[in-house]
A = this chain, B = another copy of it.
């Protein structure tokens, strides 16, 4: 008898002596006689019938009851938390989440998007890779597919997006250092320099300097794409002839790099403010002052935007900014040496 076929709606119908459509009606709360409904449900249980969502989604012109999400990296808790925020919001609507990670590579991102489109997902959510371009999505937008960008805006496409208050948050964090007396403040930022979040946060850094009448010194701006690189960048800053007395780290990896470098160098006299909170921030010595983002809120806001679009909201593309919050813990309040 071999592997037996999984029961279909027709099998259930035959068991009861009705038509597939009647079974369908039972399962979709259509108009069915009470007695018929019960017999159908009994047969469903007896046969262990499970509706086939693939087939259901195949109905005339219908889309897959799934949302495609592209993030740069799943292991990064920032993006993981964003994805978690998306998933719970989306599941509440009976949609499932399909994810892929682009590894920050535009080509991979595009092929993931192509796969999702081929699956006819109901909506697309993308954290764009650094150098990606989204003009190829124009026809999809025109056709009405909801597309929302997270954390970073799209390139070459007018579409909804949800971002953190990068520039404002960064300005606040640097101003905090200035208030505590610092006049030479190093910036350890993302790579590449063209990355949206890096540009915005650097701009916030400059805003703060401008606001205090301090000069912008290019020598104080360094770059590192991972923890080790950020640590090296930090060491370069500290070994300048006229070194900074404080550091502003432009993301979570840069913060870790700065903290690691200072720890290795045994320096506890350099003030630090990091962009994005870290789980162990409080346990550091001194505890790390940060400009905290709210990744779950970014994910949730983006998901809500998608759901509104799915509900028919055709208003023009909107940018949502999720506020940041300065959390003073000690490292940002150190006075200049």
Tell me the A residues contacting B by CB distance below 8 Å: 3-6, 48, 50-55, 57-58, 61, 64, 66, 73-77, 79-81, 83-84, 87-88, 91, 96-101, 114-120, 139, 143-144, 227, 256, 259-260, 262-264, 278-280, 282-285, 287, 295-296
Q: Which residue of B lies closest to A118 (CB)?
A: B53
**Contacts of A81 on B, CB cut-off 8 Å?**
74-75
B96 engages A96 (CB within 8 Å): no
- On whether A143 and B260 interact (CB within 8 A), knowing A54-B119, A120-B53, the answer reads no
**Contacts of A80 on B, CB cut-off 8 Å?**
74-77, 79-80
Min C-beta distance of A13 to chain B, whole Å:
18
Q: Which residue of B lies closest to A142 (CB)?
A: B3
**Contacts of A118 on B, CB cut-off 8 Å?**
50-53
Min C-beta distance of A66 to chain B, whole Å:
7
A280 engages B296 (CB within 8 Å): no
Q: Which residue of B lies closest to A74 (CB)?
A: B84
- On whether A75 and B296 interact (CB within 8 A), knowing A58-B54, A87-B99, A99-B99, the answer reads yes
Partner of A96, one of B5, B51, B87, B115: B115
How long is the Cα–Cα vector from A320 to B139 in the complex, in angstroms? 47
A260 engages B282 (CB within 8 Å): yes
**Contacts of A6 on B, CB cut-off 8 Å?**
143
**Contacts of A144 on B, CB cut-off 8 Å?**
3
**Contacts of A77 on B, CB cut-off 8 Å?**
75-77, 80
Min C-beta distance of A48 to chain B, whole Å:
6
**Contacts of A116 on B, CB cut-off 8 Å?**
96
**Contacts of A53 on B, CB cut-off 8 Å?**
115, 118-120
Q: Which residue of B lies closest to A48 (CB)?
A: B139
**Contacts of A285 on B, CB cut-off 8 Å?**
263, 284-285
B58 engages A74 (CB within 8 Å): no
How long is the Cα–Cα vector from A75 to B76 in the complex, in angstroms? 8
Partner of A282, one of B55, B87, B263, B283: B263
How long is the Cα–Cα vector from A141 to B244 in the complex, in angstroms? 62
Q: Can you list 13 contacts pairing A with B, beta carbon distance less than 8 Å?
A: A4-B143, A50-B114, A50-B118, A52-B118, A54-B57, A87-B100, A96-B100, A96-B115, A96-B119, A260-B280, A260-B282, A278-B279, A284-B285
